[in-house]
Structures are given as structure tokens and as C-alpha cells.
Structure 1
Amino acid sequence: MQEVIGTAIAIYLLSNRVIPIWGGVLITIIDTFTFLFLDKYGLRKLETFFGLLITIMGVTFGFEYATSKPNAVGVLEGMFIPWCKNCDSRALLQAVGIVGAVIMPHNLYLHSALVKSRDIDRTKKEKVSDANMYFFVEAAIALLVSFVINVFVVAVFAHGLFQTTNQEVHDLCLKHPSLNASIFPENDKYVDADLYKGGIFLGCTYGLAAMYIWAVGILAAGQSSTMTGTYAGQFAMEGFLNLQWARWKRVLFTRTIAIIPTFFLAFFSHLEDLTNMNDILNAIMSLQLPFATIPTIAFTSNPQIMGEFVNGLGNKVASILLSIVVIAINTYFVVNTVNELELHWFPLLVVILVGILYLLFCAYLVVHMAISMGNTRLLRYGFVNKYVMGPIDSALDISPISYASLTPNSGNFTYTFVS
């Protein structure tokens, strides 16, 4: 839904409020035909289009960064000391949302599926080893570019809007009659920034060109995220649900799931509600991260699955520590949010029950991961042996090389996990 919301807001800004938000949501249906067109001409064309969208994001957000000229020393300090003094729950929500937006859980499945598209002789260890190195470099570059783009965005608005009042921005926008100054109430409260208010602020501060460039950037970001989400949904349907539908049906189905609730939300609510929902959805992405990362660590740390390409000790320790940090941040975020909301007993009880289930499921995944790493002592406990068990039969060997040697079409295969 986030990508649909972002695209709709971008269209709303580019049309200078002529096309309503719900109209922008409907326009995103065209994405379906774009994906089908690109998919028809091959994955390389799709990857080229991805590269174009990322380039647009880098150029547009980089322009905003160069125009606003935030304190470079402060930006560097924030990279290595991620702490914000006197920040409220809204700032915490956005911080957690950034984690979910940058490290999107479904992209782990997308990258795993895209690896299969490479024509590699998986029967030869050296070929697989070389491919792993190139995939690592590719993923590292993608994450670095994503990090830099997010630094541009966060730095621009931290520099311009942190502890800036609505009245200050409202007065600034009065100099530009074509812009919607009323979006900023005439009061002394600090600006509660979002995608739309951010665009208006840039237009009021640096001119209309800055607003339109910002809109083009979030349009490109929305399209890129839409494509990754759609294709990840397709691969999940194929792998987990074994739905062998025609490609256009899978694309249309995954797009419909996102578009229908977003359309009703956009049609029956206000713009501010929609942008707040965007931040909440990003935070939910962060809450879902352990559900993708911990099983990934479990599978890649299992020698029966990975063979000689199993995770080393350093990778295991680093990935486990990062997972613990994410779970701790999510727990702190939920507790802090509940305290801020001052819920009555029944909603509070629901939150507590859901929180307990969340932590129990994370614990289940951690135990499963430990068994995958060879900690068979946990299987001595009856409930673990009954409800968790090992991830794979010990007599089965499906390491990449051995599996490929048994598969005629070794350039394109899938693993089958047996419980």
C-alpha cells in the first residue's frame, strides 16, 4: 500500500491538486500493464527500467539535498550516532518506518527468486562461488545507493523542518499563492511532516521547481517499490502457495490487494490520514522484518541446504545481532506508542496479547534457527521436538551443487523444503 500511496501523492503534487488522491490511486492500475510489457521483453529490460527509476531518485533527491545545504558534519554524525535528543513518538515512528522502508521484508524473497534467472552452471563449485561474489557486490551496491538516497531525504527535511512551527511555514507559503498554504495550520506547533507537506515546504522555500522535482522523485520511488512488491508477491504465490497462474493474473491479483483498500481509504478520508497511514505501514514493515530475516538466517546457516556455501561464523554472529536489535527496537517502539496513546483497558489488553504472540513467534523462529545451525540439544526438549523439530530431514542432502547435479536443467531450479 505504501507505494500506491506515494505514487498517488506524487500525481497529486504534479497535477497541482487537479487529480485527487483517489484518482492517483486508480492511475496506478496502469502499472500492471507496464509490468506485463516489460516482462514480455525479458528480465534484463525490467532491470534496466529499475536502474532508470533509481537514477531518477538519486538525481532528484540529490538536487534537493544540494539546494537545501544541510549541515554535512551533522549528517555524518547522525550516520554513526543514530540518536535524536528530545524527539517525540512521532519522530520514533518515522525512524522505525525508515528501517521498514529501506529493509523491506519481501525484497529478501525477491532477491532469492531473481538469483534463479542467472544462467550459472551450479554443478561446479567455482562457478557458484564466483556468482555468490557478484551477487554480494550487486546487493551491496543496491543497499549503498538506497542508503545514500534516504540520507538525502532525511537530511533535507531534518534541516528544514525540525522544530519549525506550522506558522513559520504557513507565512513562507503565502508568498506563493499557487501553493496550498492552508495545509499548515496557523499555530505554534511543530510541523508534522509527511510526503505531501514535504513537497509543499520545498516549493515554498526553494521555489516551485523544487516541489515538482520532489514529486518526480517520489513518483519514481513509488514505481520502483510497486514493481518490487508486485514481483515479490508473484514469487511468494508461486513458491508458498504453488499458484501456477498466468503472469498477468498474478500481477493483477497482487495489484488489486494493494489498490482496493487504498482507494477506499483515499476516497473516504483526508490526505493527512492517508500520509499517517503511510508512516504506520512502514513501521509495520519493520515489525515484520524478523519473519523474513530469521528464517533466511536459518536456511543459509544450514549445511544440509547450503553445503559448502553455508554462512560462516562472522555472518551468523552479525546477522543474529542485527535481528536482536530490530526486535528490541520494535518492542521499544510498540511500548512507547502505547504509553503515548494512553489506551483504555480493552484496547490495551488486545495490544498486550498481540505483543505476546509476536514475541512468542519470534522466539519460535529463533529456536528453529538455532536447530538449523546445528544446536540439536534443543531437540531433547519434548515440546521443541514436537512443535519445532528440525528444518529438514537429516538424510536428505539438497546442497546447491548436489541438487544441481541431479537436475537436468541446472540453470533454472528451485529448492523444495521438506518438513
Structure 2
Amino acid sequence: MNVEMRDDKEDSKNEEETNRLLSESHESDEYEEKILIAEAEESDGEDLTVPPFSWKKLWMFTGPGFLMSIAFLDPGNLEGDLQAGAIAGYSLLWLLLWATIMGLMIQLLSARVGVATGRHLAVLCREEYPGWVGYVLWVMAELALIGADIQEVIGSAIAIQILSNGYLPIWAGVLITASDCFIFLFLENYGVRKLEALFAVLIATMGVSFAWMFGETKPSGKDLLMGILVPRLSSETIRQAVGVVGCVITPHNVFLHSALVQSRKIDPNKKGQVQEALNYYSIESSVAISISFIINLFVTTVFAKGFYGSKQANSVGLINAGQYLEDKFGGGVFPILYIWGIGLFAAGQSSTITGTYAGQFIMGGFLDLRLKKWLRAVITRSFAIVPTIAVALVFKTSEASLDILNEWLNVLQSIQIPFALIPLLTLVAKEQVMGVFKIGPVLERVAWSVAALVMIFNGYLLIDFFVSEVTGLLFGLAVATGTVAYIAFIVYLILHSGTFPSDLITLISKRFTSTGN
């Protein structure tokens, strides 16, 4: 009898282990073939010893951070850069630097969650929150992704229109850009490194294009340095300042980075491997974000030199920026209009592909879908392409209309930011989720302070926008109702995070209950 009981226990244990392995396999099925960094070591899982630094290993870990950094260089960011330069001159460069540092910190926390748990943020949200909360978070992430993708696709379509000398209208450029889904699928079939190589080429193209513009326009080095080192802010530039901060943190990118880091074969049960991966990813992401900062700096300073204080400052946008540059600085050896078009095209194409990538992880993670990659990519791509084509046909090439559209899309994404940041900061500080890799109290306070700052900046943008745009009793009532529900959900997420002491939450609950009675 004892033998039979032992066998039953052994069978049960084996079955549990099999189910666990199958579950882990499913959670990471986005990467059918992970990149092997090193042979698995037969060390104790509790061992936190990290091998010496290796340039070869750093190279093997290089890739996910550069894909993530594309969100700092998308057409929406470029438009924010050029408007900040044209309207505020060099005065907001210090804010661009610090906003980029804040964005880097958030992205490193996202990578930390992915490496330490072996699961990405969308999966963890599905597991850690009640079902209805997970569905709301999924809808919010999809809305943010659609808003970002519309900006990216239209930016790419504008670049195609520039490079075709105006022969191809915006809607045709949208259809051409939609084909990047098939490029993505083609390259992914040949391995993650091929996809990462494509992004390296696109980032290099942006770097060369905007550096060329920087060299052609010759901005003031002294003003540039003063802009970075001396904080300045005025009532006339507050809107551009909000745009600079809001652009560096995009909800879909927070979800994306936690999934990208799992393209390398890391055993989350071996603490030494996890710590080593975190060290290399921190270096790689910092380098990638530094490059993105330099490219954004080039764009801001070019437009500061060309249009700050001019009559055109308030009217410059993506669709006319190239022509304005051409009129201001002339053709040169290679027309600056086409240099701008090439850089914008690289930004648009790279960001739409990463949008497709992010869409797969978000949908698959929140909904626990078991679909083939090509089908999931087509579905997630259609979510953005269909409304984008509709938008392109309605707005056509009207500069004023596209500016209004861009403001609405910025507001849409700003609304979604808390629904990526709050779950991330909740999970990364949870010992049950992160184990020994949960962040400490100091870093947790800093992270929540950064999140609060970003949400306050975006809150200002929302209030400013709705005060100027909301007209009519019914529309105003709908906005007020939506705002109450929105704030209530944010409060729920914050209370669920465990950031506040339990006795404070109990006190608030009692007050709320007594008020209700």
C-alpha cells in the first residue's frame, strides 16, 4: 500500500511538473526559438553570482532595447520635437533630457518584470487582476495602440508623399505602409536577430538623415548647451513642455519591452542568470535610449534654428515641415526636403512594425489567445489600419485637419498612460511576483513619483484640451461622466497596488461606506 501511495504521489508530482512546463511553453510561444546566451549551468537556483562582464554576451543581449527605443522616435515624437523647437526654441532641451531619463527608468522596470518572471506584462495583468479589470486594461491598451499606430502610419504616408514628389496621396501611403505587416512576418520567420538587424538599419537611417539636417542648418552650439543645462519654462511654452514629457512614455511600449526581453533564453529560476540578464539589458537599453535622445535633439534644434520667433512657428507640422525647411535653407547638395522625408519614412516604418509586434503580445497576453502568428499579426494590424485608412480618406492632406486629429490622438494616448504605469509599478514591487528581484522602497518611491509627474503633465493636457474643445450640454455631460468613471478606475488600481498602508485603505473604505449609508 505504501508503495502504491508513493507511486500516486510521484505520478501527481510528474503531472504537475508537466502542466507547469506546458504552461510556461505556452506563455513564451511568441518566441518559438529563443536565442541561447550560454549553456545552462548546473548551479543552485538561489545563487546570485554573476559571471564577469563579457562584450560578446553584451552583443548577444543587444536588440530588444533598440526595438523598444523606436517608440521614442516615432512620427508623433518627431512632431512634438519640431513644434517644441519652432515655438520654444532651445529652452526645452533640458526637459527633453530628463523626460528621456524618466522614460528609460520606466522601460528598465518593464524589462525587469519580463526577465524575472519569464512572462510579459499583459500575461501578468491577466493573472494578477480580476477578470473584468483585465478586460478593461486590455481595451485601454488596444485604444492606446490604435491611437499611436494611426499617427505612425500617417507619418509614414506623409513621408511617402514627400519622396514621391506628391504623386502618391496620403491614403495610398497608408496602404503601402500596411504591407509592413508582411515584412515583419517574413523576417520573424528567419529569426529574431534578422528583425533586430532591420531596426538597426532603420535607426541608423534616422540618425544619418537628422544628423545631416543638423549639419546643414548649423544650430547654435552655445544655445544648445544652455538649453540642456539651464531649466527654463514659461507660460507660452507649457503646452510644448507637456508634449515633450507625454511623448516619451507610450502605453504599448511598456507592455512591449517586457515581452521583447524574453527573446533570449533565460531561466527565471536561476537567479544568477536573471541578474546577469538585467545587467546587460540595462546597459543595452541605456545605449539605445541615448541614441534616441541624440536624434530627438537633432530634430528639435534644427527647427529651433529655422523657425523660432518666425511667423511660421505656430503652423509647422509633419506635413509641411520638409517644405518649410526647403524654403528656409535651400536645396544644398541633397535637397533637405528629401532628407526629412527619408528620416520620417524610417521613423514611420519602424514604429508601425513595432506596433504590430506590441499588438500581438497585448492581445495574446490579455485574452490568452492560441492563434498562429500570421493570423494574430493580421488581426492586430487590421485594428489600426482600418481606422487609419478611414481617417486618411476623411482628413486627406489638410494641414489644419491633421493637426486637430493629432491633438485628439495625443489626448487618447495620454488617457491610457495610467493603465500601463500603475500595473507595472504594482507588479514590479510585489514579492509574490518578482521574488528577490522586486524593487526596493527607495526605487519604488522614485518610480511612483515619476509616474505621478507624467500623469499630472498629461492631466494638464487633458484639462486644457477639453476646456477648449468641449462644447454643448450633452457632450459636456458625456465627458463629465466618463471622467468620473476614469478617475474611479485609476483610484481602484492604486488602492489595489498596495502602495498605501493597509490601515489607510481601511480608513478610506470605512469613510466611503459610512458616507454611502
Measured against the shorter chain, the TM-score band is 0.7 to 0.9
Query: What is the alpha-carbon distance in structure 2 between the residues aligned to residue 318 and residue 79 of structure 1?
Result: 22
Instruction: Choose which of 269, 280, 293 in structure 1 pairs with 2:395.
Output: 269
Instruction: Choose which of 351, 358, 364 in structure 1 pairs with 2:492.
Output: 364
Corresponding residue of 1:315 = 443
* Paired residues, number: 358
Query: What is the alpha-carbon distance in structure 1 between the residues aligned to residue 468 and residue 501 of structure 2?
Result: 41
For 2:370, give the aligned amino acid: Q
Cα displacement (A) at 1:332: 1.5
Deviations 1:145-176 (A, max 9, x none): 2222222212222332233224xxxxxxxxxx
1:199 corresponds to 2:348: no
Matches within 5 A, 1:130-279: 130-166=276-312, 190-208=313-331, 209-271=335-397, 272=399, 273-279=401-407
1:147 alignment partner, SS class:
helix
1:13 corresponds to 2:136: no
Query: What is the alpha-carbon distance in structure 1 between the residues aligned to residue 299 and residue 411 of structure 2?
Result: 17
1:19 alignment partner, SS class:
coil
2:321 alignment partner, SS class:
helix
Query: Is the contact made by 1:61 and 1:214 (CA closer than 8 Å) also made in structure 2?
Result: yes
Query: What is the alpha-carbon distance in structure 1 between the residues aligned to residue 323 and residue 420 of structure 2?
Result: 36
Query: What is the alpha-carbon distance in structure 2 between the residues aligned to residue 268 and residue 379 of structure 1?
Result: 48
For 2:324, give the aligned amino acid: F
Corresponding residue of 1:3 = 152
Cα displacement (A) at 1:202: 1.3
For 1:72, give the aligned amino acid: G
Q: TM-score, normalised by structure 1?
A: 0.79
Closer, same or farther: CA 254–97 of 1 in aligned 2, 3 Å: farther
Cα displacement (A) at 1:84: 4.2
Closer, same or farther: CA 157–358 of 1 in aligned 2, 3 Å: farther
Query: What is the alpha-carbon distance in structure 1 between the residues aligned to residue 231 and residue 383 of structure 2?
Result: 35
Query: What is the alpha-carbon distance in structure 2 between the residues aligned to residue 261 and residue 95 of structure 1?
Result: 29
For 1:49, give the aligned amino acid: L
Deviations 1:237-265 (A, max 9, x none): 11101122111111111221111111122
Query: What is the alpha-carbon distance in structure 2 between the residues aligned to residue 14 and residue 142 of structure 1?
Result: 28
Query: What is the alpha-carbon distance in structure 2 between the residues aligned to residue 316 and residue 152 of structure 1?
Result: 33
Cα displacement (A) at 1:139: 2.0
Corresponding residue of 1:414 = none
Deviations 1:284-310 (A, max 9, x none): 323322211111011000011111101
Cα displacement (A) at 1:6: 0.7
1:59 corresponds to 2:208: yes
Instruction: Choose which of 244, 257, 261 in structure 2 pairs with 1:115.
Output: 261
Query: Is the contact made by 1:230 and 1:251 (CA closer than 8 Å) also made in structure 2?
Result: yes
Closer, same or farther: CA 163–358 of 1 in aligned 2, 3 Å: farther
Cα displacement (A) at 1:72: 3.1
Query: Is the contact made by 1:194 and 1:276 (CA closer than 8 Å) also made in structure 2?
Result: no
Query: Is the contact made by 1:96 and 1:282 (CA closer than 8 Å) also made in structure 2?
Result: no
Matches within 5 A, 1:342-361: 343-361=471-489
2:367 alignment partner, SS class:
coil
Cα displacement (A) at 1:375: 3.5
When structure 1 is superposed on structure 2, of 26-35 and 335-344 the one drifting more is 335-344
Query: What is the alpha-carbon distance in structure 2 between the residues aligned to residue 258 and residue 333 of structure 1?
Result: 24
Structure 1: which 4+ aligned runs deviate by more than 4 Å?
A: 80-84, 381-384
When structure 1 is superposed on structure 2, of 58-67 and 268-277 the one drifting more is 268-277
Cα displacement (A) at 1:79: 3.6
Cα displacement (A) at 1:95: 4.1
Closer, same or farther: CA 378–228 of 1 in aligned 2, 3 Å: farther
When structure 1 is superposed on structure 2, of 136-145 and 229-238 the one drifting more is 136-145
Cα displacement (A) at 1:380: 3.4
Cα displacement (A) at 1:99: 3.4
Query: What is the alpha-carbon distance in structure 2 between the residues aligned to residue 350 and residue 69 of structure 1?
Result: 49
Query: Is the contact made by 1:97 and 1:285 (CA closer than 8 Å) also made in structure 2?
Result: no
Query: Is the contact made by 1:32 and 1:255 (CA closer than 8 Å) also made in structure 2?
Result: yes
Matches within 5 A, 1:54-133: 54-79=203-228, 83-87=232-236, 92=239, 94-133=240-279
Corresponding residue of 1:24 = 173
When structure 1 is superposed on structure 2, of 270-279 and 56-65 the one drifting more is 270-279
Query: Is the contact made by 1:105 and 1:285 (CA closer than 8 Å) also made in structure 2?
Result: yes
Query: Is the contact made by 2:411 and 2:462 (CA closer than 8 Å) also made in structure 1?
Result: no
Deviations 1:34-53 (A, max 9, x none): 00111110111111111111
1:330 corresponds to 2:473: no
Corresponding residue of 1:340 = 468
Closer, same or farther: CA 160–224 of 1 in aligned 2, 3 Å: same
Query: Is the contact made by 2:495 and 2:505 (CA closer than 8 Å) also made in structure 1?
Result: no
Cα displacement (A) at 1:266: 1.4
| Structure 2 runs not aligned, ≥5 long | 1-149, 513-517
1:116 alignment partner, SS class:
helix
The percentage of counterpart residues that share the same residue type is 41
Deviations 1:83-132 (A, max 9, x none): 443526xx71x544443433221111111111222112333211111111
2:316 alignment partner, SS class:
coil
Cα displacement (A) at 1:222: 0.7
Query: What is the alpha-carbon distance in structure 1 between the residues aligned to residue 508 and residue 447 of structure 2?
Result: 28
Query: What is the alpha-carbon distance in structure 1 between the residues aligned to residue 509 and residue 194 of structure 2?
Result: 50
Closer, same or farther: CA 354–159 of 1 in aligned 2, 3 Å: farther
Deviations 1:170-211 (A, max 9, x none): xxxxxxxxxxxxxxxxxxxx5422111111111222234211
Query: What is the alpha-carbon distance in structure 1 between the residues aligned to residue 325 and residue 220 of structure 2?
Result: 17
For 2:357, give the aligned amino acid: Y
Query: Is the contact made by 2:245 and 2:457 (CA closer than 8 Å) also made in structure 1?
Result: no
Query: Is the contact made by 1:2 and 1:281 (CA closer than 8 Å) also made in structure 2?
Result: yes
